[in-house]
Amino acid sequence: MFDIPSNMLLLKQALKWGVTHWDTADCYEGGRSEEGIGMFFTRYPETREKVFLVTKSDARDPGGMTSLLNRSLERMKTDYVDLYFIHGIKDIDELNNDTQRWAKQAKDQGKIKFFGFSTHRNMEQCMLAAAKLGWIDGIMMSYNFRLMHEGKMKAAVDAC
């Protein structure tokens, strides 16, 4: 969200074109990305149910995740996000039993529908380990065409 008025037009057109998966993070443009989405939903409240809304947080502890999720909800002028990611994990050990309890509680409260993480390194290891946990709903990773044909990556995708 570099230019909020222009982006209002872009988001409206995106919906007309069928772009309904919107991804942001609490840290994108210092929060302005979430604020721009919030301005859009304030102006066009009927569109919220058409959008699969994803946001991310850098927090790892339950208190920080709660604080940042609540701030994201306020910025985006919505009661829930469809998918909430812990942003940029390097190792699955960054998620633990406290994280699992937090995700369940946020779901039970209706603040999130799904929970997962994004990763940009050690992707195969993170994906393989997440598949064994059984409580990760989604994973966002960087895409590399060459890497997608490697045996370890194929095994990680199959496991997920």
| E strand or H helix at 41 | helix 32-43
Torsion of CA 68, 73, 79, 85, to 10 degrees: -60
How many alpha carbons lie under 13 Å from residue 139 in its C-beta half-sphere?
Answer: 29
| Contact between residue 120 and residue 85 where contact means Cβ atoms under 8 Å apart | no
How many alpha carbons lie under 13 Å from residue 47 in its C-beta half-sphere?
Answer: 23
- Distance CA(7)–CA(24), nearest Å, equals 14
- Distance CA(2)–CA(45), nearest Å, equals 22
Give yes or no: 44 in active site. no
Total number of residues shown for the chain? 160
The set of catalytic residues is 28
